[in-house]
């Protein structure tokens, strides 16, 4: 009888230790250089995965934070102060970047999250990247994929075997069997640096470009920019006010007419054309692909070094 009562007391104590677990673990420690390797976290319920196990499970309104990145999921396991695994409806958010997956592993020592799913989705404003595995560095706000990926950004579609994303600059560096296309052009090449914000594409080595008019261009290095559209309309104060509202560049002002330039997507320039029609559009010219061919000696690695130097300079200016 005494033995039975003693067993019941042990079970009750074990259950109570789980139910009454704290909402958050102790404040993380920093290393010598001030970098926080531990992961801040909270959950409604937490406790050892198995009796005596150092691994801790966490469920219910779970959230973790490291280097400003917030991670939520259905449940998680904490293996140590800097290593965790997340399960079910995983979401990693840092600034404008959102990463969705079914499972993720996080290593706080190297600031890396590895996200897995049948389809991992990376969203940054208008752009969405679909891939099978995505590695995200919460310290540098950069990510990479290596099993193929498809990017959709407004009316642009890009495919590549592997890629590297710099969220701070909005640059996606794609390598291996790269394809880009939209209503205006199709591009294939070995490597492309594409900016999600401006739609400018810098291409390297064995690049083929076809535009919607059937024109063909081959180049070893160059760049593509969004097409510029020129409008020549009858001058009036209403026209001048309208073009300024739409971030249009005024090229020429005459007593009778005004010439303006709009750089943007086809839908944007069409909308501006529609708004200008009541004022009398005298001329309308839309340029095609803008490809600036440069020396082949400037290889992709050199260009990436330029990007890295620019990024470091920007970071140093913040301190």
- How many Å apart are CA 209 and CA 95, to the nearest integer? 34
Q: What is the pLDDT of residues 271-285, one digit of tens each?
A: 777 777 776 766 555
- How many Å apart are CA 86 and CA 110, to the nearest integer? 17
Higher per-residue pLDDT: 5 or 169: 169
Lowest mean pLDDT segment, chosen from 19-23, 91-95, 242-246:
19-23
pLDDT score, position 307? 64
Higher per-residue pLDDT: 228 or 85: 85
Tokens 């990926």 -> residue: 149
Residues ≥6 apart with Cβ < 8 Å to 291: 209, 217, 219, 222, 223, 224
Provide φ and ψ at 34, rounded to 5°.
85, 0
CB of 41 closer than 8 Å to CB of 58: yes
Mean pLDDT of 65-81: 96
- How many Å apart are CA 307 and CA 312, to the nearest integer? 9
For the chain, percent of residues with pLDDT exceeding 90? 44
Tokens representing 188? 């294939």
Residues ≥6 apart with Cβ < 8 Å to 159: 148, 149, 150, 151, 177, 178, 179
Of all helices (H) and strands (E), which one includes residue 32?
A: none
Mean residue pLDDT of the chain comes to 78
Reply yes or no on whether the pLDDT at 290 is more than 60: no
CB of 14 closer than 8 Å to CB of 24: no
pLDDT score, position 18? 41
pLDDT score, position 164? 97
Structural domains of the chain, ranges and CATH numbers in brackets: 148-226+289-310 (2.60.450.10), 228-287 (3.30.70.1150)
Lowest mean pLDDT segment, chosen from 52-61, 182-191, 230-239, 310-319:
230-239
Tokens 């900016």 -> residue: 195
Residues ≥6 apart with Cβ < 8 Å to 65: 39, 40, 41, 71
Q: What is the pTM of this model?
A: 0.69
- How many Å apart are CA 173 and CA 146, to the nearest integer? 12
pLDDT score, position 180? 92
Higher per-residue pLDDT: 26 or 54: 54
Residue 216 binned pLDDT confidence (cut-offs 50, 70, 90)? confident
pLDDT score, position 153? 94
Residue 174 half-sphere exposure toward CB, CA atoms < 13 A? 28
Mean pLDDT of 135-149: 97
Reply yes or no on whether the pLDDT at 172 is more than 70: yes
Reply yes or no on whether the pLDDT at 74 is more than 90: yes
- How many Å apart are CA 196 and CA 308, to the nearest integer? 17
CB of 82 closer than 8 Å to CB of 115: no
Partners of 253 in the beta sheet? 258
């Amino acid at each position: 009888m005494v033995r039975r009562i003693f067993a019941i007391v042990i079970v009750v104590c074990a259950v109570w230790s789980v139910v009454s677990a704290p909402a958050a673990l102790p404040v993380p420690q920093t290393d010598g250089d001030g970098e926080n390797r531990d992961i801040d976290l909270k959950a409604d319920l937490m406790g050892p995965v198995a009796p005596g196990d150092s691994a801790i499970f966490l469920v219910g309104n779970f959230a973790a934070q490291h280097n400003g990145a917030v991670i939520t999921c259905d449940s998680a396991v904490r293996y140590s102060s800097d290593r965790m695994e997340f399960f079910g409806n995983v979401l990693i958010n840092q600034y404008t970047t959102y990463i969705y997956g079914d499972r993720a592993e996080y290593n706080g020592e190297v600031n890396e999250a590895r996200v897995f799913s049948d389809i991992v989705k990376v969203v940054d404003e208008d752009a969405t990247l679909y891939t099978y595995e995505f590695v995200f560095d919460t310290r540098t706000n950069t990510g990479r994929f290596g099993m193929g990926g498809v990017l959709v950004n407004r009316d642009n579609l890009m495919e590549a075997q592997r890629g590297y994303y710099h969220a701070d600059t909005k640059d996606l560096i794609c390598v291996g069997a790269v394809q880009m296309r939209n209503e205006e052009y199709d591009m294939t090449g070995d490597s492309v640096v594409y900016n999600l914000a401006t739609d400018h594409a810098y291409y390297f080595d064995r690049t083929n470009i076809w535009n919607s008019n059937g024109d063909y261009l081959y180049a070893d290095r160059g760049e593509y920019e969004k097409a510029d559209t020129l409008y020549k309309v009858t001058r009036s104060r209403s026209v001048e006010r309208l073009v300024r509202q739409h971030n249009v560049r005024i090229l020429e002002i005459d007593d009778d007419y005004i010439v303006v330039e709009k750089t943007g997507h086809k839908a944007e320039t069409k909308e501006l054309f529609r708004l200008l029609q009541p004022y009398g559009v005298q001329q309308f010219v839309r340029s095609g692909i803008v490809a600036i061919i440069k020396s082949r000696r400037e290889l992709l690695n050199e260009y990436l070094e330029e990007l890295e130097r620019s990024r470091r300079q920007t970071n140093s200016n913040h301190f």
